[in-house]
Structure formats: C-alpha cells, structure tokens
Structure 1
C-alpha cells in the first residue's frame, strides 16, 4: 500500500503567508455569515436561565463555498491540491497561532467586561484555567455569536482539506480510486446532514453551558480540520482499488451509523423543544416528565455515540488496513466517548437518582445493544 508523506515545507515566510491566507478564509466566512440570510432560532436556557437567539446560515455558507471552489476550478483552473502537498504544515502552524491569538482576544475582552460588571472568575479557578475554558459563555462580535460561528471555519475548512486530497490524487493518477470517491462522499453526506440539522446546535451542551475559551477555539480551528482529515494522506497515494464488496460494506456501515447518530441527536433536540413531538410516528414516552424513553433513547442510553463511532470507522476504513494512521481519529473518539458516557452516567445518577435507575432498567444498553 502506497502512502504519501506530509510535506515539510515549513519556513517563516510560508507560515506568514499561510496565516494571512487562513485569516482571510476565516474573515471571509465571518463577513458572509453577517451578510447571508439565516433563520433565527431560540436556544435552550443557559445555566443562568437566559435563552439566546442564534442566526443559523451554515448551509448557505457551505453551499457558497461549493460554488466558489467549483466555479474557480472550472473557470480559473483552481487546484486545491497545494493545500495538502505544499501548504499543510504552514497552515497547521497558522491555525495554532490564530487559535492562540483568538483565545487571548476573547479572554482579555471577557475580563474587561467582567470588570465593568463587577464580576470575577469562578471561585478556585486559576487564570490559566479561565483562559483554557474561557471567560465568557457566549461572546459576540458585530452581532454574531462567535461560538456558533466557529463551527464554520472548522467544518468548512475540514471539507476544503478533504477535497484537496481528491484534487491531489486526480492530478497524480489521472483518476479517483473508488475508496477516494467513498471518502469524499462520506464526508459530504456527514457535513450535509450536519447543516440540515444545524438547529440542533442550539441545544448542545457546549453551546448552552460551556464557556468559549482556548479549549473550544483550538478544537474548532485546529483539531477538527487538520486531524479529522488524516485518512486522506493514505488514500491520496493509493492506486489499487478496493473491491465492490468492500465498498458496499463500508457504505452500509457509514449510512447505518449516520442514521443512528443524526437520528438520535435530532430526537433529543426535538424533545427538548417540544415534548409532544412524535418520535417514529408515536407520542414520546417520558419518565418523570424528564427523561425520554422513546425512539433510539428507549433502546440505549448513548446510541448517538455508537452511531458516530460507526461513521468514523467507515471513513477510516476507506484507507484499508495497512496502516494505523487513518484510524487515529476513530480511536481517539472511542476513548473520548467511552469516558463521556461514563461521566454522563455518573452525573445523571447524581441528578435523577431513582428515576435514572428506572430509566437504565428500561434502556438497558449504553452503546451497543445486547453487548454494552
């Protein structure tokens, strides 16, 4: 199995140009999110009881990016391949620098507003911890919620890098292998369903409850776009196609996982907004007027995690079994989600008490029916 090494063209000049380019990309998306129309959605209550309003136009931004890239490719001969064959390391360094700078700006701005309001950091929390977690819950700029906006350079940036691997393979081989086509299709469907269900962001824990600091900023601007595309490095250098049976099996795994992942999350989101919303054509069953026990949530307590893992396993497996590298994202998410499932179970037992025990007796499985 052939593999392509990540380029090492890392110089001060390349980092400066990459920082300008990446900053321009983020700035362009920010201007577009201000200009493009979008439906305003009311979020769930924050820990302080506030319900914020969010303008969501991620689908429009994603489609606009398609139009720009496709149009420039057809009319100007644009190639995205240099993003991974020449500029990957400079862009990665630039993303880290921008993440640090943005986090410092958010922290200092948050501290100024805290001082003006006579507030202080949470008791027992150091300045380093406050920088890591953030000084504010929902900072805004020019009326744009920055926490919501950060999803755009994160996921659209990821998609641009994913597409760059296809450009690079086509320029090298004169064709796209079946596994590269699957890799592109899987990511396209993943992102399409994300933007289709974008209102679900307004009920996510990190949006309504987690402060916006370096942890989330770095995750959005650096970790997701530059780590989640890792299978592309192996795929880009492969010339031998996978079999039809392998392609069908991977497609089935991906589509099943995506159905469970998006479906479970959407059921929970709609339940939080309106507890009478039908699930699978029936009135939802609720324990103690608090815990949903219908749909996916009546089968297992964390099937959304299971579906997400199936999605990322299928994406990784498009690169074959000759290297561990394509599976690093899946393995990282596996450890993260297993810990999160344990943490959530512990928190819910403390919060709901006997009601949680009753729920666990009904939804017996955590992540894998009849196994775990």
Structure 2
C-alpha cells in the first residue's frame, strides 16, 4: 500500500505521474490505436461499434482533463498511499485491462446498425453525464461550505459532522465536515459508482453477445473494485465521524444501488 500519501523525488510528484500522466494518457491513446487498426482491417472504414466504444471512452476521459481538480478529491488521491497497488495498477493494469474491450473490438467488432450504435452511445453518454453531475454536486457543496443550490434546494440538506484529529505537536483538534444529503447523494452513499459502472457497460456493449469474457471483463472488474472501495470508504468514515456517520446512514441507508444495496 505504500508508505507516503504524496511522495516526491526531487520535486517530481510520483502519484500525479503514475495516476494522471502515464496511466490515463495511455487509456486515451490505446483505444485510438485500436480504432486505427479496425479501420485498416475494413478498408479505411471505422465500424459503428468500434466508433461508439472509442467515443464514449474519450468523452469520459475528457471529463478528467477538463476537471482535474475533481479527481484530486477522489479516494485514490486523498487517501490511498503511493505503493504497489496504486503505482503498478496505473502503469500496468490500466493500460492492459481498461482498454481490453477496445483491443477485442479492433478485430472482432460485430456489424450493427446505425440505430443500435446510436442507442448505445446515448445510453453511455447519459451515464457519463450523471456520473459527472454527481461528483460536481459534491465538489461545489464542499467548495462553498454548503452555501449552494443543488436541484433547486438552497442550501442543500446536510449533516454537520465533527471529528477529532491529532496535530503535529500531539494535541487533539476538533474539526467539522459537512455530509451532503441532497441531489443524487440522497439516493445512496456512493451513488456515483452506479453510472460509472453502467457507462463502462455501454462502451463494452458493442461486443454484443460475444462468447468471450474479454470485452466485458473490465465491467466485472470495475464492479468488484468500486464495491470494495465503497466498503473501505464506509469503514473509514465510520471511524472518522463515529455517531455522525450512523446518523448519515440512517438518512441514506443504501451504500451503492438505491433500493437494493
């Protein structure tokens, strides 16, 4: 898991490089390379399924480059230390697994109609927008300290939670955080994972009823990863906020899928 949260070598931010510059940059380049291969195999024409797969991923990733500060508030950056799990994952796992569906579609994309491709594209686009809007609601809420409007409510419903930290001198200090109970965040405690998983399903869907697990392995992996992350985050918040987190869980009883789990 690593020893340091933000390690630097001669001023070089290791976590920023592995997560943002290397891993995510290849995630952009990988699908583009596979799309080029698909065009080579089809006399310069890009199959609809391949086009949808690449377009949805590029839109999803453009959200990161447009709103990099939003990623700086994620669990990867704020809480996970820069060790084997994070660095190897971003340098090796992301380029190989996150693009596996594009690799498959480069040579095995089935023929589909423009209508089918359009429906898949707009389904994925909707999920990407919901994922962005969910994260953006929380970001604005935190930046304004609750003095904002979310889905027509101003100020949005929230809980004022206190927690205790230890300063560098060893003294205990009481701090305050605001826990959002409005907008998409009243649906479940980790609602943003739902559209993220569904978006990955939609950009893998051009494989249709493939008998191979390859094009859908990323969806399965992402579901396991985010479910584990939700449990880890819940455990961390329960230890941090104690009784306030219990109050929050009473207001928002579902962890990920509203009405189910």
Matches within 5 A, 1:106-255: 133-150=1-18, 151-174=20-43, 175-238=45-108, 240-255=110-125
- Asked if residue 311 in structure 1 is aligned to residue 207 in structure 2, the reply is no
Distance 1:242 1:212 in 2: 43
RMSD of equivalent CA atoms = 2.1
How many residue pairs align between the two structures?
240
Shift of 1:297: 0.9
- Asked if residue 288 in structure 1 is aligned to residue 176 in structure 2, the reply is no
Distance 2:109 2:225 in 1: 33
- Could you tell me which of 338, 354, 360 is aligned with 2:227? 338
Task: Using structure 2 for the length normalisation, give the TM-score.
Answer: 0.83
| Alignment-derived partner of residue 33 in structure 1 | none
Shift of 1:219: 1.1
SS at match of 1:264: helix
SS at match of 1:277: coil
Q: 1:240 to 1:226 in 2, by over 3 A?
A: closer
Distance 2:17 2:151 in 1: 32
Distance 2:259 2:224 in 1: 20
Cα distance per residue 1:183-217 (max 9 Å; x no partner):
11111101111111111132223323332122211
Cα distance per residue 1:160-186 (max 9 Å; x no partner):
111111111111111111001101111
- Asked if residue 362 in structure 1 is aligned to residue 251 in structure 2, the reply is yes
- Could you tell me which of 202, 209, 218 is aligned with 1:321? 209
Cα distance per residue 1:314-355 (max 9 Å; x no partner):
111122221221111110111122222233333333433443
Shift of 1:309: 0.4
Distance 2:141 2:31 in 1: 34
Indicate if the aligned counterparts of 1:260 and 1:303 stay in contact, CA closer than 8 A: no
Unpaired segments of 5 or more residues in structure 2? 162-177
Unpaired segments of 5 or more residues in structure 1? 1-132
| Alignment-derived partner of residue 188 in structure 2 | 300
Q: 1:292 to 1:330 in 2, by over 3 A?
A: same
| Alignment-derived partner of residue 149 in structure 2 | 278
Distance 1:204 1:369 in 2: 21
Structure with the larger RCO, 1 or 2 (CA within 8 Å, 6+ apart): 2
| Alignment-derived partner of residue 236 in structure 2 | 347
Distance 1:208 1:367 in 2: 21
Shift of 1:240: 4.2
SS at match of 2:46: coil
- The structure whose Rg is larger is 1
Q: 1:339 to 1:135 in 2, by over 3 A?
A: closer
Distance 1:366 1:252 in 2: 27
Q: 1:204 to 1:309 in 2, by over 3 A?
A: same
Higher fraction of strand? 2
